[in-house]
Chains A and B, each alone.
Chain A
Amino acid sequence: MKKLFDFFASYGFAVVLLILLTILTLFGTLEQADNSLYDVQNKYFNSFFLTHDLFGVPIPLPGVYLLSVLLFINLVCGALIRVPKEWKKPGMLIAHGGILYMLVAGFVTYHYSTSGQMTLFPQERSNKYQSYYEWEIEIAELEDGLYGRHWVIPGEQFTDMDVDDTREFFHPDLPFDLMLENYVPNTMPQPTPGDDGVEGFTLAPKPLEMEAAQNAAGAYAMVLNKEKQEVQSGLLWGFSVAPWIVTVEGKDYAIELRHRNWTLPFTITLDEFIRDLHARTTMASNFESVVTKAEPGQADRKINIRMNEPLRHKGYTLFQSGWGPQNAGPNDRLFSTFAVVKNPADQWPLYSCIVISVGLLIHFLQKLVSYLRAENRRRVS
């Protein structure tokens, strides 16, 4: 056991880990020339293991996630437990603690953060933001002309399907089951003559896009009614402009394959979108949004969201990330796009840097004082 502990606490192990992290950062950066950022992040930085192709030679490597876990163990063992602790010299202890804090921030961000976008035209309001990459299937009850209760199948439950897999989804409160078949991660519906395909279309697979957000997933779907046991088939496509509506036992349900949605605890209304252009150009010199934030139990609040001045509230951060449509004329109606991020560890990297800085400052100051005293003693002697 001691040998194991000594191994994990060793400087040599730390050096190996840091070298591997450097290599992976290099490879991951170069890989982005051929693959989307999202795919590269998943392969190099969010993985335990990966295989990197180096001039046609497959090289197995540990992923950054695994290396970060090992580095955390190494720091705890070596920098906190094994190191002789002199409470008169707390600097390095504090600095290493700050590094550990930063690693924890990364872990929390990876597992507990969400990010997406919200697009609004003026006078539109919303309390939802949508993922750029993740998919979900929503089955929503429609009543009195409005969306009601809805059931959500997260992407993890169907994006691993092969094109020849079939999977059925059920819920005790739903009067039907939903069967999926022919899931493809990027597709375009193609019309087919006669009664081939589903609803007169087939889903032809396409290669994945360089920009992962441009992939449009699709699948064939079948509704199996448990009561009257009717069967209805339809097409689900990620870039549909409207959901597939089915009627089961006299009730309408909207079924939609879409990017994953999250709900904010407050509502944003875009009051005005301001865009300033550089003189005699169509390039924006400034763009910002005037919004009203509304939430139950609180007075509405008017806020300006502009570049580098996001709205932070209840753990959510709304950045002014873009606008459109592109090449809009002077009288065209513009929309504003916000990048929405929920990250419990949003400010932790900043705090950890402060902790590290404080620790190093203390350590260097103590070293300086110690050196000056030694010099003084030498002169005196």
Chain B
Amino acid sequence: MRPITSALLILPLVLSACSEPPASQEIPEVREPGDLRREAPPKLDVRQRLGMRSDSAMGSSQGADDPLGGITFHHTMPEGWEKVANTPMRQVNIRMTDTPEAEAYFTFLPGGGGGLKANLNRWRGQMGQEPLSDDAIAALPTRPIFGQPATFILIDGDFVGMGTDPKPDYRMYGLVLTYSDPQSQQDQAFFLKMTGPKAVLEGQEEAFNLIASSLHAVAPGDEHTHDDEHAGHNHGPEGNDHGDHDGHDHGAEGDDHAGHDHGAEGAPMTSPKDAPAETEGPVGYSWTVPEGWSEGTPSQMRLANLTVDGHDNVECYLTVLAGSGGGLEMNINRWRKQMGQDELSADAIAALPKAPLLGGEASFVTIDGTFGGMSGTVSNENFRMYGLVRVDDSQAFFVKMTGPQAVLAEQEEKFLAFSESITLGPVAPAATTAPAAAPMADNPHGVADPTPPGGNNPQGLSWTAPEGWVDGGERLMRVVTYEMGETQCYITSLPGEAGGVNGNLNRWVGQMGEAELDEAALAALPKISALGKDVPMLDVTGSFTGMSGGTQENYRMLGTVVPAGDHTMFVKMIGPEAEVGAQKDNFIAFCASITQ
């Protein structure tokens, strides 16, 4: 056999050895301390570690001290309002002089802050109201802030702010502007919010409009005293507009102008407990697996993870990121780089063909080349990548498929069909009304759903949400989050043992500022049912210190850890002691409803 023929025969074997790096790798290098030993650093909180001021709320460039670079925000002060000290999250902070519980503040967040939908529904949850659909959010009116149209929302209800007792008959005015800076290509979010007793705030909408219309940024060294400039009378973009019905939150089906928030049946709701029984169950992503494809194990970042039968080197997956995920151009060019190709110009990217994805149009890209990953250490020659990218106000959606060109050429139609089949929401239509006395709302997933939900639900869990629990939207590393007042209850699923039952229970005990439980105490914990098993339930009251580092006094935590084969499920409820106490039965029932 000629040497050149031998080389050509060996080459595929060599190339085939260039496979994906293993998911678990041993650390190769261990160094002993030398004679010159460094002093151990102090244990700093995350802001100090990242080089930010401890009272700074903003991100910064390369650890700079003042992330806003000294920029301050100013506005015209409405009559009857006064300035209070700014806080890390409030660059403008004012309250009514005679009614201090009526307050208004402005927050600027680089990075998008979670996006429009997530924040509007978070506010709705704070007021005890149901989240709004995309259509309802799109129908909300806009008002200008910094010369840009911001989404305006008016919400009446019982206000439960951070760490406060519920305040009945409150009103909230809110403005949310999400913006992509064209120079830095960074997402930014602006929030203006006013809360107070409804009877007081009914006359303050013009004051809110005045703040919004007069708000402006001042560069360092160019300080003004706009805050001292009080308005003689309320101005607004339309003058005195107390009767501006456009500001009311009409909800999904339309509401009257008195501020009552009606549900689907038209019955007025004054509290979440009166929510109609067809409250939505958990939402998730679902799709149709093309013929000849198989589903692999999803991960936290790959909501759908598929391959083509008989081709282990072909993969296709769906990723959803909060915010812009880096944006269209950056991701398209990142993929092109992975394929060893040069970047496309903005014009070329704008001219890419479109394909449907999750109710919108996504940019579709086909890239041939050598698939080398981020650093080029992997080398898969003659590969092809199909990619779909869609970025909306609050999320970015990616569908990506890679594999040998010859294989992918035959799969293009199926790739597009799969992408088009991806949907978000309950798979089945909403269930029929249940009796008002029933503690649970129907959940279509809990009834019969052969297609496991997608989203952050790689294990295909299903459950029934208790009445009154409000979907808290998608959160990183959580299968689902529910909110009820100031209290949250969420499910997390991690691969493997993830720390084990006792280890995690004691970690939670530590978060509540209490001493660890010994073996006997752990064994004596009451048992509840979850995933069909009897598992211990932790019930502890104390001072809660969460992952963000803030401490909440008089909090209560309910939690359980459920080993489930190749993964471990965590269900945790945390909130003010009284609220959690009132939800304990619901927590137990919720855990019992979780199946896989």
Contact = CB atoms under 8 A, between A and B. Distances in A.
Contacts of A181: 300-301
A200 B54 CA distance: 13
Interface in A47-91: 47, 49-53, 58
Given A4-B3, A142-B40, A228-B503, A193 B301 contact: no
Given A164-B302, A170-B24, A245-B41, A188 B374 contact: no
A295 B272 CA distance: 73
B520 to A, nearest CB: 17
Nearest to A50: B340
A166 interface: yes
Interface stretch (B45-53, B133-141, B166-174, B263-271): B45-53
Nearest to A151: B27
Interface string A182-200: 1101001111111111111
Specify the main secondary structure of chain B where it touches its partner.
Answer: loop
A162 interface: yes
Contact of B476 (A161, A164, A197, A206): A197
B49 A230 contact: no
Contacts, number: 245
Given A157-B25, A166-B299, A241-B51, A231 B504 contact: yes
A211 interface: no
A160 B499 contact: no
Contacts of B330: 205, 207
Contact of B50 (A42, A53, A240): A240
Contacts of B302: 164
Interface in A104-132: 125-127
Nearest to A185: B374
B23 A58 contact: no
Given A173-B30, A193-B114, A202-B476, A182 B24 contact: no
A201 interface: yes
Interface in A207-221: 207, 216
A169 B30 CA distance: 13
Given A146-B33, A267-B36, A190 B325 contact: no
Contacts of A193: 89, 109, 113-114, 119, 122
A160 B371 CA distance: 12
Nearest to B119: A193
Contacts of A198: 476, 547
Contacts of A278: none
B111 interface: yes
Contact of B111 (A1, A47, A191): A191
A239 B59 CA distance: 13
A201 B27 contact: no
Contacts of B24: 167-170
Nearest to B368: A58
B548 interface: yes
A190 B111 contact: yes
A229 B374 contact: no
A167 B29 contact: no
Interface in B453-504: 475-476, 488, 494, 496-500, 502-504
Contacts of A316: none
B341 A152 contact: no
Given A199-B46, A207-B330, A171 B62 contact: no
A300 to B, nearest CB: 14
A160 B322 contact: no
A156 interface: yes
A351 interface: no
B498 A166 contact: no
A154 B28 CA distance: 8
A225 interface: yes
A195 B474 CA distance: 12
A151 B323 CA distance: 35
A263 interface: yes
B385 to A, nearest CB: 12
Interface in A242-301: 242-245, 252, 254, 263, 267, 296
A330 interface: no
Contacts of B178: none
A260 to B, nearest CB: 11
Contacts of A234: 46
Contacts of A240: 49-51, 63
A205 B376 CA distance: 19
Contacts of A194: 122, 475, 548
B195 interface: no
Interface string B537-560: 000000000111100000000000
A189 to B, nearest CB: 5
A147 interface: yes
26 contacts: A49-B370, A147-B39, A149-B31, A153-B28, A160-B373, A160-B374, A167-B25, A181-B300, A189-B59, A191-B109, A192-B114, A193-B89, A194-B548, A199-B46, A201-B46, A205-B325, A228-B503, A229-B499, A230-B503, A235-B46, A239-B62, A241-B63, A243-B49, A244-B49, A263-B31, A296-B35
Interface of B: 2-4, 21, 23-44, 46, 48-51, 57-63, 89, 109-114, 119, 122, 185-187, 299-302, 317, 319, 322-323, 325-326, 330, 338, 340-342, 369-370, 373-378, 475-476, 488, 494, 496-500, 502-504, 506-507, 546-549
Task: In the A-B complex, list the 3 residue pairs whose CB atoms are closest, starting with the nearest.
Answer: A190-B111, A164-B301, A229-B500
